[in-house]
Each structure stands twice: as C-alpha cells, then as structure tokens.
Structure 1
Amino acid sequence: MLLKKPLARRVHLTRSMYMKAVPPWCNNKIPCYQQIISRWINPEWRATYRAASERRALMGGPVHLQGNLNLHAYVQKKNRERGEGEEPLNTFTGLCLSRKSKKPEGGWVNPGAGLRIDAYSGKFKECNGPDSDPASQDIDVTVSLKSGQGKKRGRLYVGDGSIRKKDIPKLADLRATTLSSGPAIERRPEPGLHMMHQFHARLEEESRLRLEAQANALLQQEQAMKMQQALFQQQEFMVKQHAALQETFARFNANMHCSTLPDLPPIPPLPTFSFCPRSGEGSNNFVVGGSNLPKQAQ
C-alpha cells in the first residue's frame, strides 16, 4: 500500500522493515545504513524529530520554493527562463521570488519570510539612505548581519548560503567598527514571539467579531420583539373591530325580527277577456267583463 508523503513522514518502521528497503545509495554500504537505522529507531531521536516537526508545523507554510537548489542555482535557473529584455535577477530579488506564495491571494510562503525580507529592506535603507532600493544589488552581508544579530545559531538571518563563509565578518568585529550614531545591530526576531503576538491579535479580532455578532443579535432580537408587539396590537385591534361588527350585526338582526311592516293593500283583480266572433265574419271583436261592446252603425 502506497502512502502519501505527509502521512508517510509520521510512520516509524522497525529495523527489519528498514532493512527490507535499502536505498540505492547504500547498496554497498550496509554497515553505514545500519548505523543510520540505529539513529532513526532511537527514542530520543524520535522525540527530537517530533518536536522539530511540531515547530515546523507552526511556520504556516513552506520555507521556500527553491526545491533542492541553493539560492545561486535558483537565480541562474530563473534567469535562463526569463525572456529577452527582462532585467536579470540578483540574489535578493531571487530570494524574494523564492519566498513569494503561488496562491491567488499572493503574500509570502510563511510569515517568517516576510519578517526577514522586511527587516533586511529596512536596515538596507537605514545604511544606504531612504531612497535606496535593496533590489538593486545582491544581498549585502553587512546589512544581513545587522538586520539579524549576526550569524545567530550559525546562520545568517537573510541570504544564508548565498554568501561564502570567508566573506562573512564576525559579529564582534562588526560591533567594533560600528559607530554609535550609525545603524544599530538589531536583535533577531523570535518566530515564537511573533507567532504569539499574531495569536493574541487573532484572539482580539475574534473577540471583537464575537462582540459585534452579539450586539447585532441583540439588536435583531429587539427589532423582532418590537415587530411582534406591533403584530399583537394589530391583532388585538382586529379582534375588537370584529367584535364590534358582530355586535352591530346582532343588533340589526334583533331589530329585523322585532319590527312589523304595514300590510300592503290587496292587489286588484285583473279584468277577464273573452272573444266573441260574429257569425260569418272573421272579426276579432271581444267582450270585456261580460259586457257587449257598442255596435257600429251600419
């Protein structure tokens, strides 16, 4: 069964399992590989590995996007890929490019990368003037030393590996040649403190949003109560109106049943018509009410 890389990193094998998968670069060096396995299965090493993995997870992203290339090789590769007329990269612009996130929203690959580049840029302008551009030249070793308290833990704060070790002065010599009125040597920011500040800022932001949501909920609840009260008043008014109409109809019906209308006079009888045709004639003479009509003179 094949495991994905993030899951495979958390799997610890036994010595026999490791020996079943000897890497090609150790085919002829089995004793050396056994020494490596002894370190991998050591509980102390595993505890150190686990602690380092937890610290690494707090970075919030990868270290860089250079792959297995060092900074100089990465800059050379990117310069070969650039078209004609484009300005070639130097070590500082290459460093910035390798720390730029490929996400649509942009930004840096991790918060620490932005801190380092901002610290170097600020110290560069402090050393060379406010109008100077750090992207105009390669990484300055003196600026890198001053922006990150020298080679703390054996590494430069910015551009480590891009400058030869023999070209990096000692921090004591740099302090001896630095004037009190000149740019100071800054303390290296601790990622843990920065993450703690970010955590507190995030908590404050969440607290502010929660309070705003609660205030909006209370406002909506008050508006709903007012609307419900208005509906109750309207319903009460409609009930009263309905009761008044019912009372009016009841009175009207009572008045209709109690009152007597005057008797109407009898309808007069209609006259009766009878036809009396003459003999031998086809006349239409008729008699009304049994009386004969006057005869016509001959």
Structure 2
Amino acid sequence: MAKVGLRNFHYAVLTQDDSTGVDYGAIKSVPGIVTSKIQPKSNAATLYADDGPSETATVLGEVDVTIELSELPVEDQAAILGHTIDGNGVLVKKSSDQAPYIAVGFISRKSSGKDLYVWLLKGKAQVPEDDLQTQEDKPNFATTSLTLTFVRREYDNAYDARGDEDNSSFTGSATWFDSVYGGSNDTTAPTVTTTPADGASAVADNSTFVWTFSEAIMPGTVTAANFLVMVASDGSLVNGSLALSGDKKTVTFTPAANFTAATEYIAVATTNVKDLAGNALAEDSTTNFTTA
C-alpha cells in the first residue's frame, strides 16, 4: 500500500541497553512532522564455486533516517542533541556535547485508509543545519531536518518495530506511544545523598562538596545554576568548579579557595537536575554544614 500521510512524531531517550534489558525515558511528542526517509544500509557478499555463484549473504549495517519537522523546540533540541538550557532559558551548544541514543516513533497513513505504526529503536542525531533567510513578499517556510543514524539494540538485535492496521492480528494502535516497543520506561525520580551530610559540623576547610545520585544524570544539567554552594549568613555564592564522574552519578564541587573556618554553608542541587530518562529531582536537595 502507498503511504499518503505522516503524523504524531514521538521520541524517547534510551537509558539502558544491555543483556539484562532495555529502558527508555519519558516519551515526548513533537508536533509538526513533515517527512521521514529511512535508508537501511546492507553489505552483501557472494561465494563463487564451480565457475558460478554458489551462495550469497547479506549483513545489515546502520540505518540512516532523515526526519523533517516544522519546528524543533529548544527543550527537545537539548534532550535529543545533548545541549544545555542555562538558568536564563538560553540553549547553549558546546563542542563537547554528546547526543544520547534515542528511539523515534510516528504514524503513517496508508492508501487503504489504515495506519502504519513505527518505532525506530536506537539512533543518534546530528546537529541540524540552520537555513535562515530574510522575509520576502511571499511566505517561505523554514523547517528543521534531523539526520539520525540507527543501529541494532544490544539486548535483542532489534532496530525497527512496526504495527500495521491492515494486519488483523495487530491490536496495539491505542497504546503504541505508551512505551517504546520491546522496552520499558523509567519514570522514577533520582535521589541524592551528600558529603558532607546535612547538619555536619567540624568539616575541614579544604574539603570538597559531593552530590551522589542514585542513577546517572544528564551531563547538560550539571551547571552552576543547578548546583550551588553559598554562605548561610548572607547567601553569597562560593566560587568553584563542578566535575561530573565518568559514571555520571557523582558531582563534585571544588571551591576556588578553602572554605572559611567556623562558617555555616548551604549546598543546593535544584529540581532542574535530571536523570538520563528526563526525570527531575522530586525537590531541591538542601544541605547545611559548618566548617571547623
């Protein structure tokens, strides 16, 4: 059947893919999908024997996907491309940003009047080009094209899942976007502990401050706006640097100079801190400690 329509673009960040299972973050909907082009790549080889072709084999490589959207909001750009939205609401792109693996889903209307439901399961997006121009005497629409490369999942080798309403045994249309096909969705907020602990006293003035999370967090949320250390008496911020551990579970604040002796401090991690699935801290983490 010919494809005559396209709608309901969704995505979810892949948070786990190993021999034990597959997990995705919250599924987000982005309105305004215009086109989608899926190009699987394969490598073929033929064995020749007895003066002729005897056997052939084909191996699937990566799958290139181009999705055109009327617009990609900044919060979705940050999630899909690994960028950061700072405390002023500005999307900041850095050369060190790393796009996460995501799944994308959509619906395609067929000429039969029935729908084809699609999930592409594990891909990374490239930073899209900007095509801007001045206003003319007639409307010109500027769209955003996302180019993604998809590979198979480690857990089950799957890379594409489709449900076709022309197939009478397919009954999952109503729940297609409740979860990514074959995976589960992480909706649990991360928790955090601190060193020093809340209420600690006699803390050495040359200490660092450490937040340890129950799961990996988004590197893009590790900013000075989301992790603060301040003097309790007047709220003045302590200058210092933040470092995220390799497993993305620990954030260390190292002050530019030693803490002042016999002084109370407050350390805060805000609810803008999110895990890889996009779940935010349930509430600000506030820790009071006093130096020796």
Range into which the TM-score falls when normalised by the shorter chain: under 0.3
TM-score (norm 2): 0.20
Higher radius of gyration, 1 or 2:
1
Bigger fraction of residues in strand: 2
Bigger fraction of residues in helix: 1
Larger relative contact order (CA 8 Å, sep ≥ 6): 2
